[in-house]
Structure 1
């Protein structure tokens, strides 16, 4: 099958190679000419036979601009697939705008990171049955082998919504491992913290791919001394907590893991300064001054 692919960074570039290995023809465009197969979006569209399918893997901040540029180049019956980390609430308006000019739209939550080229990508898809069926050869080649790793989650927006929740869960899982790591490091008894995590990789209920990756990180740097304890977020955790508030769903773990990331960015927490001041005022407790 033929596919246009916009955005050839770490994810998009690896997806291009996995699809080509599976026998698909991929015409890739990226603003970086060293990565691109063509010089422009227009040239990419010209090289695709109708009806076309174009997959977008760009940062959320430039998705709308990219969609609008493509809409002006595509024809009736073509399809745009957004595989970036867009907010799910942007999907339906985008789809309606494209449908008005005869262009279909599919949203896909993509998980797999830099390992996806080798292992495959988990795909959470939103869109009409007709559009999803048409793109199944692409989805089948991108997903891992076997019965798992793909879902048609529902109509337009469902794919990005499912990925949003997936990433919220990911926040919580990572933070649980992180808290366990810190406690083990502070223990007077455990002398082989990396070995403990390695032992959990088989036969335990906490084994997971994230645990495997933490084991790899600890093999490279047992005390993580080369890293700063700063964790960014790309938005999905915030959106998940916002949805929990809207739907009145208790989400203690995911919310706490998100707030912990915020705390990681503070060199000297104003909130903790206030707590120290209050403890001194009401109890005369000792304080530490800069």
Structure 2
């Protein structure tokens, strides 16, 4: 995703130096060389898996100078942003958190950007944001101070969990019906003129075109943290999260080949009602 973002920014006429451990796609041999190749004041956008973000930002703190800016565009937890901004700020280095949505399609469609940080840093980096966002008036928000960008992306991904699972339940019900004989065509019919049309629906239609029975996909869905954090915030703020919480727990169910909870339900039904237990 970071590589695609580099190309989209370059296409807008900006000079970009990228570093990646894979030399075939990297413009520098190390983070230190990346910093050397950038003219001050530098803007360094970190787009890495959450497990290594802290280490990368720590390294950058020792390489950058006062007046430079670090942007974390990964799916970090919003509560990590304040301490990072404070630590870098003590060195005179600015920090922004940017929630980024767009996936592999962003290079051509643009990316939705949710920014957290000081206005002076946002204003300085607007040419980058303009290059990355979709054309038109939508796709960018200065959501608030440091932490607001990742908080907004967390909620975005929680909503995504719920939307995805609603489509998935509809798919399963259509598949189970004895009346509907062409499930992929039904989904295709919803892509225009329907109130449930969306990009996610387009992607599901694409998946069904490639594999109408989804026979080559295992029924296992990972959660990367944002759904959990959204539910945790709902608990903290006493905001009901019925749909998002249910979609998160459904992902947990997908990891069980033979659900212990459903085994217990089957055993109870057998005990009080004599219902047969299937093996």
Q: Give your verdict on TM over 0.5.
A: yes
Is 1:31 equivalent to 2:21 in the alignment? yes
Partner of 2:182: 192
Partner of 1:224: 214
Q: Secondary structure at the match of 2:17?
A: strand
What's the CA shift for 1:274?
1.0
Please give the alpha-carbon distance, in whole angstroms, between the structure 2 residues aligned to 1:278 and 1:201.
43
Residue 148 of structure 1 is aligned with which of 138, 152, 175?
138
Partner of 1:120: 110
Is 1:87 equivalent to 2:70 in the alignment? no
Is 1:102 equivalent to 2:95 in the alignment? no
Partner of 1:42: 32
Structure 2 residue runs without a partner (length 5+): none
Q: Secondary structure at the match of 1:26?
A: coil
What's the CA shift for 1:115?
0.1
- Give the aligned length: 279
Runs of 4+ in 1 over 6 A off after TM superposition: none
Is 1:260 equivalent to 2:260 in the alignment? no
Please give the alpha-carbon distance, in whole angstroms, between the structure 2 residues aligned to 1:113 and 1:50.
30
What's the CA shift for 1:131?
0.2
Structure 2 counterparts to residues 1-290 of structure 1, below 5 A: 11-289=1-279
Q: Secondary structure at the match of 1:229?
A: coil
Structure 1 residue runs without a partner (length 5+): 1-10
Please give the alpha-carbon distance, in whole angstroms, between the structure 2 residues aligned to 1:63 and 1:221.
36
Tell me the TM-score normalised to structure 1 length. 0.95
Question: Could you give the per-residue CA deviations for residues 131-190 of structure 1, whole angstroms, max 9, x where no partner exists?
Answer: 000000000000000000000000000000000000000000000000001111111111
